[in-house]
Structure 1
Amino acid sequence: MTIDHRDDLARLSSHARAPERARLRLGVGAAIVLLIAALVTAVLVSALAQPTSDRVGAGPDAASSTAGTFSQAPDAQASPAPTIFVHVLGAVRTPGLFDLPAGSRVMDVVAQAGGLLETADPGGVNLARLLVDGEQLYVPLVGESPPGQPSGAAAGGAAGLAAGPAAKVNLNTGSLSDLDTLPHVGPMMAQRIIDYRTANGRFTSVDDLRNVTGVGDKTFEALKDLVTT
Protein backbone atom coordinates (compact mmCIF):
# COMPACT_ATOMS: atom_id res chain seq x y z
CA MET A 1 0.00 0.00 0.00
CA THR A 2 1.43 3.34 -1.11
CA ILE A 3 1.07 6.34 1.26
CA ASP A 4 0.64 9.75 -0.44
CA HIS A 5 2.63 12.37 1.51
CA ARG A 6 1.77 15.32 -0.76
CA ASP A 7 -0.98 16.56 1.55
CA ASP A 8 1.41 16.53 4.45
CA LEU A 9 3.99 18.48 2.48
CA ALA A 10 1.39 21.07 1.46
CA ARG A 11 0.34 21.56 5.06
CA LEU A 12 3.95 21.92 6.15
CA SER A 13 4.62 24.47 3.38
CA SER A 14 1.53 26.45 4.39
CA HIS A 15 2.63 26.54 8.02
CA ALA A 16 6.11 27.66 6.96
CA ARG A 17 4.78 30.65 4.94
CA ALA A 18 2.42 31.90 7.66
CA PRO A 19 5.12 33.80 9.63
CA GLU A 20 6.30 35.48 6.43
CA ARG A 21 2.79 36.77 5.70
CA ALA A 22 2.48 38.06 9.25
CA ARG A 23 5.78 39.94 8.98
CA LEU A 24 4.69 41.38 5.62
CA ARG A 25 1.39 42.63 7.05
CA LEU A 26 3.23 44.07 10.04
CA GLY A 27 5.68 45.90 7.76
CA VAL A 28 2.89 47.34 5.60
CA GLY A 29 0.98 48.46 8.70
CA ALA A 30 4.06 50.14 10.14
CA ALA A 31 4.70 51.96 6.86
CA ILE A 32 1.11 53.24 6.81
CA VAL A 33 1.39 54.43 10.41
CA LEU A 34 4.66 56.24 9.63
CA LEU A 35 3.10 57.87 6.57
CA ILE A 36 0.10 59.08 8.57
CA ALA A 37 2.39 60.38 11.32
CA ALA A 38 4.47 62.26 8.74
CA LEU A 39 1.34 63.86 7.24
CA VAL A 40 0.04 64.87 10.67
CA THR A 41 3.43 66.35 11.56
CA ALA A 42 3.54 68.33 8.31
CA VAL A 43 0.04 69.71 8.91
CA LEU A 44 0.89 70.73 12.48
CA VAL A 45 4.14 72.41 11.44
CA SER A 46 2.34 74.33 8.69
CA ALA A 47 -0.44 75.41 11.05
CA LEU A 48 2.02 76.58 13.70
CA ALA A 49 4.26 78.37 11.21
CA GLN A 50 1.46 80.46 9.63
CA PRO A 51 0.61 82.70 12.66
CA THR A 52 4.31 83.23 13.32
CA SER A 53 4.76 84.41 9.76
CA ASP A 54 1.82 86.78 10.13
CA ARG A 55 3.23 88.18 13.34
CA VAL A 56 6.65 88.67 11.81
CA GLY A 57 5.11 90.33 8.78
CA ALA A 58 3.12 92.69 10.99
CA GLY A 59 6.26 93.91 12.74
CA PRO A 60 7.60 96.21 9.99
CA ASP A 61 4.10 97.59 9.37
CA ALA A 62 3.72 98.47 13.03
CA ALA A 63 7.19 99.99 13.09
CA SER A 64 6.41 101.93 9.92
CA SER A 65 3.16 103.19 11.42
CA THR A 66 4.96 104.28 14.59
CA ALA A 67 7.67 105.97 12.57
CA GLY A 68 5.02 107.75 10.54
CA THR A 69 3.36 109.01 13.71
CA PHE A 70 6.63 110.44 15.02
CA SER A 71 7.52 111.90 11.63
CA GLN A 72 4.27 113.87 11.67
CA ALA A 73 4.82 115.24 15.17
CA PRO A 74 7.04 118.19 14.09
CA ASP A 75 4.35 119.37 11.64
CA ALA A 76 1.77 119.45 14.43
CA GLN A 77 4.14 121.57 16.54
CA ALA A 78 5.08 124.03 13.79
CA SER A 79 4.73 127.62 14.97
CA PRO A 80 2.36 129.95 13.08
CA ALA A 81 3.80 132.48 10.64
CA PRO A 82 4.33 135.99 12.13
CA THR A 83 1.76 138.64 11.25
CA ILE A 84 1.72 142.43 11.19
CA PHE A 85 -1.11 144.93 11.72
CA VAL A 86 -1.66 147.90 9.41
CA HIS A 87 -4.24 150.69 9.72
CA VAL A 88 -5.52 151.79 6.29
CA LEU A 89 -7.28 155.13 5.79
CA GLY A 90 -8.22 157.32 2.86
CA ALA A 91 -9.42 156.50 -0.62
CA VAL A 92 -10.00 152.74 -0.28
CA ARG A 93 -13.30 150.90 -0.34
CA THR A 94 -13.17 149.48 3.21
CA PRO A 95 -10.76 151.38 5.49
CA GLY A 96 -9.81 149.69 8.73
CA LEU A 97 -7.26 147.61 10.62
CA PHE A 98 -5.86 144.59 8.78
CA ASP A 99 -3.53 141.76 9.73
CA LEU A 100 -1.18 140.37 7.08
CA PRO A 101 1.79 138.00 6.91
CA ALA A 102 5.13 139.60 7.68
CA GLY A 103 6.82 140.72 4.46
CA SER A 104 3.59 141.94 2.83
CA ARG A 105 3.58 145.05 0.64
CA VAL A 106 1.30 148.07 0.34
CA MET A 107 -0.51 146.51 -2.63
CA ASP A 108 -1.45 143.53 -0.41
CA VAL A 109 -3.16 145.60 2.28
CA VAL A 110 -4.83 147.82 -0.35
CA ALA A 111 -6.28 144.64 -1.88
CA GLN A 112 -7.58 143.56 1.55
CA ALA A 113 -9.15 147.00 1.93
CA GLY A 114 -11.20 146.39 -1.22
CA GLY A 115 -8.92 148.24 -3.62
CA LEU A 116 -8.56 151.91 -4.53
CA LEU A 117 -11.52 154.17 -5.14
CA GLU A 118 -11.95 155.69 -8.59
CA THR A 119 -11.05 159.05 -7.05
CA ALA A 120 -7.86 157.76 -5.39
CA ASP A 121 -4.45 158.99 -6.46
CA PRO A 122 -2.36 155.85 -7.23
CA GLY A 123 0.77 157.99 -7.27
CA GLY A 124 0.15 159.04 -3.68
CA VAL A 125 1.35 155.68 -2.31
CA ASN A 126 4.16 153.33 -3.21
CA LEU A 127 2.34 150.05 -3.82
CA ALA A 128 5.61 148.09 -3.88
CA ARG A 129 6.80 149.27 -0.45
CA LEU A 130 7.20 146.71 2.33
CA LEU A 131 4.84 147.23 5.26
CA VAL A 132 5.96 147.46 8.89
CA ASP A 133 4.00 146.32 11.90
CA GLY A 134 1.86 149.03 13.47
CA GLU A 135 2.02 151.56 10.65
CA GLN A 136 -0.82 153.69 9.36
CA LEU A 137 -1.27 153.91 5.60
CA TYR A 138 -3.18 156.82 4.08
CA VAL A 139 -4.28 156.69 0.43
CA PRO A 140 -4.92 160.26 -0.81
CA LEU A 141 -7.55 161.44 -3.25
CA VAL A 142 -6.50 162.99 -6.54
CA GLY A 143 -5.04 166.42 -5.76
CA GLU A 144 -4.91 165.73 -2.01
CA SER A 145 -1.72 165.74 0.05
CA PRO A 146 -1.27 162.89 2.55
CA PRO A 147 -1.50 163.87 6.25
CA GLY A 148 1.76 165.27 7.58
CA GLN A 149 2.66 166.85 4.25
CA PRO A 150 1.85 170.48 3.43
CA SER A 151 -0.79 171.14 0.79
CA GLY A 152 0.14 172.90 -2.42
CA ALA A 153 -1.02 176.27 -1.13
CA ALA A 154 0.79 175.88 2.17
CA ALA A 155 3.93 174.68 0.44
CA GLY A 156 4.00 177.66 -1.87
CA GLY A 157 2.82 180.15 0.73
CA ALA A 158 0.26 182.87 0.18
CA ALA A 159 2.91 185.13 -1.30
CA GLY A 160 4.53 182.37 -3.32
CA LEU A 161 7.39 181.98 -0.82
CA ALA A 162 8.75 178.56 0.14
CA ALA A 163 7.46 177.38 3.48
CA GLY A 164 9.98 176.85 6.24
CA PRO A 165 10.77 173.40 7.62
CA ALA A 166 8.13 171.87 9.87
CA ALA A 167 8.87 171.76 13.59
CA LYS A 168 10.33 168.48 14.81
CA VAL A 169 8.29 166.30 17.14
CA ASN A 170 9.84 165.75 20.55
CA LEU A 171 9.98 162.04 21.40
CA ASN A 172 9.86 162.79 25.14
CA THR A 173 7.03 165.32 25.23
CA GLY A 174 5.06 164.63 22.05
CA SER A 175 1.47 163.50 22.53
CA LEU A 176 -0.20 160.61 20.75
CA SER A 177 -1.65 162.99 18.16
CA ASP A 178 1.74 164.70 17.68
CA LEU A 179 3.51 161.41 17.03
CA ASP A 180 0.65 160.26 14.80
CA THR A 181 1.45 163.05 12.32
CA LEU A 182 4.82 161.49 11.51
CA PRO A 183 5.16 159.36 8.35
CA HIS A 184 5.09 155.59 8.92
CA VAL A 185 3.64 156.20 12.40
CA GLY A 186 0.00 155.41 13.12
CA PRO A 187 -1.88 155.35 16.42
CA MET A 188 -0.46 151.95 17.35
CA MET A 189 3.16 152.94 16.67
CA ALA A 190 2.66 156.28 18.45
CA GLN A 191 1.36 154.43 21.51
CA ARG A 192 4.39 152.11 21.44
CA ILE A 193 6.71 155.14 21.50
CA ILE A 194 4.86 156.53 24.53
CA ASP A 195 4.88 153.10 26.24
CA TYR A 196 8.63 152.80 25.64
CA ARG A 197 9.47 156.15 27.27
CA THR A 198 7.10 155.34 30.16
CA ALA A 199 8.83 152.01 30.81
CA ASN A 200 12.43 153.05 30.09
CA GLY A 201 12.57 156.76 30.83
CA ARG A 202 13.40 159.61 28.48
CA PHE A 203 14.86 159.12 25.02
CA THR A 204 18.47 160.22 25.38
CA SER A 205 19.00 160.38 21.62
CA VAL A 206 17.07 159.86 18.41
CA ASP A 207 18.92 156.54 17.98
CA ASP A 208 16.94 155.17 20.96
CA LEU A 209 13.95 155.11 18.62
CA ARG A 210 15.43 151.92 17.13
CA ASN A 211 14.60 150.15 20.41
CA VAL A 212 10.85 150.65 19.95
CA THR A 213 9.10 147.52 18.69
CA GLY A 214 8.23 147.84 15.00
CA VAL A 215 10.78 150.53 14.17
CA GLY A 216 13.05 149.02 11.53
CA ASP A 217 15.84 150.59 9.52
CA LYS A 218 13.53 152.07 6.88
CA THR A 219 11.16 153.57 9.44
CA PHE A 220 14.06 155.00 11.42
CA GLU A 221 15.57 156.60 8.31
CA ALA A 222 12.21 158.22 7.54
CA LEU A 223 11.83 159.58 11.10
CA LYS A 224 15.32 160.53 12.28
CA ASP A 225 15.25 164.02 10.73
CA LEU A 226 11.67 164.71 11.88
CA VAL A 227 12.06 164.03 15.60
CA THR A 228 14.18 165.32 18.44
CA THR A 229 14.87 164.62 22.11
Structure 2
Amino acid sequence: MTIDRKFVYGLLYGLLLALAATGVLLVVARRPPGRAVQLADAPTPVPARVYVLGAVARPGVYPLPRNSIVEAALAAAGGPLAQADLSQLNLAQVLEDGDRVEVPHLPPTRTPAPPTRTPAPTITVGPGTPSPTPEPTATPIPAAPAASASRSAALAPGAKLNLNTATAAELEQLPRIGPATAQRILEYREAHGPFKSIEALMNVKGIGPATFEQVKDLITVD
Protein backbone atom coordinates (compact mmCIF):
# COMPACT_ATOMS: atom_id res chain seq x y z
CA MET A 1 0.00 0.00 0.00
CA THR A 2 1.53 3.22 -1.09
CA ILE A 3 0.87 6.42 1.01
CA ASP A 4 0.91 9.68 -0.83
CA ARG A 5 3.57 12.01 0.59
CA LYS A 6 1.53 15.12 -0.01
CA PHE A 7 -1.24 13.68 2.08
CA VAL A 8 1.17 12.89 4.88
CA TYR A 9 2.69 16.36 4.78
CA GLY A 10 -0.73 17.96 4.81
CA LEU A 11 -1.79 15.87 7.75
CA LEU A 12 1.32 16.82 9.72
CA TYR A 13 0.87 20.48 8.89
CA GLY A 14 -2.72 20.36 10.10
CA LEU A 15 -1.65 18.70 13.35
CA LEU A 16 0.95 21.38 13.94
CA LEU A 17 -1.61 24.11 13.41
CA ALA A 18 -3.99 22.39 15.79
CA LEU A 19 -1.29 22.09 18.45
CA ALA A 20 -0.35 25.76 18.04
CA ALA A 21 -3.94 26.87 18.37
CA THR A 22 -4.39 24.67 21.44
CA GLY A 23 -1.28 26.21 23.05
CA VAL A 24 -2.54 29.72 22.43
CA LEU A 25 -5.89 28.86 23.96
CA LEU A 26 -4.20 27.38 27.03
CA VAL A 27 -2.05 30.50 27.53
CA VAL A 28 -5.03 32.80 27.20
CA ALA A 29 -7.12 30.68 29.53
CA ARG A 30 -4.43 30.74 32.23
CA ARG A 31 -4.08 34.62 32.29
CA PRO A 32 -5.94 36.32 35.17
CA PRO A 33 -9.10 37.99 34.05
CA GLY A 34 -8.74 41.81 33.72
CA ARG A 35 -11.19 44.38 35.16
CA ALA A 36 -13.35 46.29 32.79
CA VAL A 37 -12.56 50.02 32.60
CA GLN A 38 -15.60 52.24 32.85
CA LEU A 39 -15.30 55.78 31.55
CA ALA A 40 -16.92 58.34 33.89
CA ASP A 41 -19.23 60.88 32.40
CA ALA A 42 -17.86 64.41 32.18
CA PRO A 43 -19.20 66.55 35.09
CA THR A 44 -21.92 68.98 34.13
CA PRO A 45 -20.82 72.55 35.02
CA VAL A 46 -23.05 74.11 37.69
CA PRO A 47 -24.10 77.68 36.80
CA ALA A 48 -23.28 80.55 39.12
CA ARG A 49 -26.33 82.13 40.76
CA VAL A 50 -26.06 85.93 40.97
CA TYR A 51 -28.49 88.35 42.65
CA VAL A 52 -29.02 91.51 40.59
CA LEU A 53 -30.94 94.42 42.13
CA GLY A 54 -31.18 98.18 42.04
CA ALA A 55 -31.61 100.25 38.88
CA VAL A 56 -32.29 97.33 36.49
CA ALA A 57 -35.37 96.35 34.52
CA ARG A 58 -35.98 92.99 36.25
CA PRO A 59 -34.24 92.55 39.62
CA GLY A 60 -33.81 88.96 40.76
CA VAL A 61 -31.54 85.90 40.98
CA TYR A 62 -30.15 84.69 37.64
CA PRO A 63 -28.07 81.59 36.75
CA LEU A 64 -25.03 82.54 34.71
CA PRO A 65 -22.18 80.51 33.21
CA ARG A 66 -19.06 80.29 35.29
CA ASN A 67 -16.62 83.22 34.94
CA SER A 68 -19.40 85.55 33.78
CA ILE A 69 -18.83 89.28 34.27
CA VAL A 70 -21.01 92.02 35.73
CA GLU A 71 -22.08 93.20 32.29
CA ALA A 72 -23.59 89.75 31.57
CA ALA A 73 -25.51 89.88 34.87
CA LEU A 74 -27.02 93.25 33.94
CA ALA A 75 -28.03 91.91 30.54
CA ALA A 76 -29.73 88.91 32.20
CA ALA A 77 -31.71 91.31 34.41
CA GLY A 78 -33.07 93.21 31.41
CA GLY A 79 -30.37 95.85 31.31
CA PRO A 80 -29.81 98.97 33.43
CA LEU A 81 -32.42 101.71 33.71
CA ALA A 82 -31.92 105.23 32.38
CA GLN A 83 -31.23 106.56 35.87
CA ALA A 84 -28.63 103.86 36.66
CA ASP A 85 -25.19 105.10 37.72
CA LEU A 86 -22.89 102.63 35.96
CA SER A 87 -19.81 104.64 36.89
CA GLN A 88 -19.96 103.00 40.33
CA LEU A 89 -19.61 99.46 38.86
CA ASN A 90 -16.77 97.50 37.27
CA LEU A 91 -18.55 95.93 34.30
CA ALA A 92 -15.58 93.63 33.59
CA GLN A 93 -15.46 92.10 37.09
CA VAL A 94 -15.72 88.28 37.12
CA LEU A 95 -18.61 86.97 39.24
CA GLU A 96 -18.79 83.92 41.47
CA ASP A 97 -21.67 81.85 42.77
CA GLY A 98 -23.68 83.80 45.35
CA ASP A 99 -22.42 87.25 44.34
CA ARG A 100 -24.66 90.31 44.64
CA VAL A 101 -24.67 93.07 42.02
CA GLU A 102 -26.46 96.25 43.11
CA VAL A 103 -26.81 99.00 40.51
CA PRO A 104 -27.02 102.43 42.21
CA HIS A 105 -29.33 105.20 41.03
CA LEU A 106 -28.11 108.59 39.92
CA PRO A 107 -28.56 111.28 42.61
CA PRO A 108 -31.68 113.37 42.02
CA THR A 109 -31.10 116.84 40.64
CA ARG A 110 -32.72 119.64 42.59
CA THR A 111 -34.09 122.58 40.64
CA PRO A 112 -34.15 125.77 42.72
CA ALA A 113 -37.63 127.18 43.10
CA PRO A 114 -38.16 130.53 41.38
CA PRO A 115 -38.40 133.46 43.75
CA THR A 116 -41.94 134.50 44.53
CA ARG A 117 -42.86 138.11 43.99
CA THR A 118 -45.62 139.66 46.04
CA PRO A 119 -47.60 142.18 44.02
CA ALA A 120 -47.68 145.64 45.50
CA PRO A 121 -51.10 146.75 46.75
CA THR A 122 -52.91 149.48 44.88
CA ILE A 123 -54.98 152.31 46.32
CA THR A 124 -58.26 153.09 44.60
CA VAL A 125 -58.93 156.83 44.41
CA GLY A 126 -62.10 156.81 42.44
CA PRO A 127 -64.47 154.16 41.15
CA GLY A 128 -62.40 151.74 39.10
CA THR A 129 -59.35 154.03 38.98
CA PRO A 130 -56.34 152.51 40.74
CA SER A 131 -53.61 154.88 41.73
CA PRO A 132 -49.94 153.94 41.84
CA THR A 133 -48.58 152.66 45.09
CA PRO A 134 -46.96 155.52 46.98
CA GLU A 135 -43.26 155.25 47.57
CA PRO A 136 -42.38 154.61 51.20
CA THR A 137 -40.97 157.67 52.88
CA ALA A 138 -38.18 157.46 55.37
CA THR A 139 -39.22 158.27 58.90
CA PRO A 140 -36.85 160.85 60.35
CA ILE A 141 -35.04 159.65 63.43
CA PRO A 142 -35.29 162.16 66.24
CA ALA A 143 -31.99 163.58 67.29
CA ALA A 144 -30.63 162.51 70.61
CA PRO A 145 -31.22 165.03 73.38
CA ALA A 146 -28.41 167.40 73.84
CA ALA A 147 -26.12 166.69 76.71
CA SER A 148 -26.52 168.84 79.77
CA ALA A 149 -24.59 172.04 79.91
CA SER A 150 -22.66 170.77 82.86
CA ARG A 151 -21.45 167.70 80.89
CA SER A 152 -20.74 169.52 77.62
CA ALA A 153 -18.88 172.44 79.08
CA ALA A 154 -15.16 171.91 79.12
CA LEU A 155 -12.65 173.28 81.53
CA ALA A 156 -10.78 176.34 80.39
CA PRO A 157 -7.26 175.61 79.14
CA GLY A 158 -4.85 175.54 82.07
CA ALA A 159 -7.62 175.83 84.67
CA LYS A 160 -7.92 173.29 87.47
CA LEU A 161 -11.02 172.28 89.38
CA ASN A 162 -10.92 172.73 93.15
CA LEU A 163 -12.16 169.54 94.80
CA ASN A 164 -13.15 171.42 97.95
CA THR A 165 -15.41 173.96 96.22
CA ALA A 166 -16.58 172.19 93.03
CA THR A 167 -20.23 171.35 92.57
CA ALA A 168 -21.52 168.03 91.27
CA ALA A 169 -22.08 169.54 87.81
CA GLU A 170 -18.49 170.80 87.72
CA LEU A 171 -17.10 167.46 88.89
CA GLU A 172 -18.93 165.71 86.04
CA GLN A 173 -16.75 167.69 83.59
CA LEU A 174 -13.78 165.55 84.62
CA PRO A 175 -12.94 162.41 82.60
CA ARG A 176 -14.59 159.19 83.82
CA ILE A 177 -16.58 161.08 86.49
CA GLY A 178 -20.30 160.52 86.17
CA PRO A 179 -23.23 161.76 88.26
CA ALA A 180 -22.98 158.89 90.75
CA THR A 181 -19.23 159.36 91.27
CA ALA A 182 -19.60 163.14 91.56
CA GLN A 183 -22.24 162.65 94.28
CA ARG A 184 -19.93 160.28 96.19
CA ILE A 185 -17.15 162.92 96.07
CA LEU A 186 -19.49 165.47 97.65
CA GLU A 187 -20.60 162.98 100.31
CA TYR A 188 -16.98 162.14 101.13
CA ARG A 189 -16.11 165.84 101.42
CA GLU A 190 -19.04 166.43 103.78
CA ALA A 191 -18.15 163.41 105.91
CA HIS A 192 -14.36 163.90 106.11
CA GLY A 193 -13.92 167.61 105.53
CA PRO A 194 -11.91 169.30 102.77
CA PHE A 195 -9.45 167.24 100.74
CA LYS A 196 -5.90 167.67 102.04
CA SER A 197 -4.33 166.46 98.77
CA ILE A 198 -5.46 165.46 95.35
CA GLU A 199 -4.34 161.88 96.09
CA ALA A 200 -7.07 161.69 98.75
CA LEU A 201 -9.55 161.56 95.87
CA MET A 202 -8.70 157.85 95.53
CA ASN A 203 -10.34 157.30 98.94
CA VAL A 204 -13.71 157.87 97.27
CA LYS A 205 -15.44 154.65 96.26
CA GLY A 206 -15.26 154.08 92.52
CA ILE A 207 -12.10 156.14 91.91
CA GLY A 208 -8.99 154.06 91.43
CA PRO A 209 -5.49 154.70 90.11
CA ALA A 210 -6.62 154.55 86.48
CA THR A 211 -9.23 157.29 86.97
CA PHE A 212 -6.86 159.35 89.13
CA GLU A 213 -4.20 159.29 86.37
CA GLN A 214 -6.68 160.91 83.98
CA VAL A 215 -7.88 163.67 86.34
CA LYS A 216 -4.81 164.49 88.46
CA ASP A 217 -3.65 167.26 86.12
CA LEU A 218 -7.14 168.82 86.10
CA ILE A 219 -7.80 169.07 89.86
CA THR A 220 -6.42 170.94 92.86
CA VAL A 221 -7.19 171.38 96.58
CA ASP A 222 -5.93 174.99 96.90
**Which structure dedicates a bigger proportion of its chain to helix?**
1
Q: Kindly name which structure, 1 or 2, has the bigger radius of gyration based on alpha carbons.
A: 2
- What TM-score, normalized by structure 2, do the two folds share? 0.31
- What TM-score, normalized by structure 1, do the two folds share? 0.30
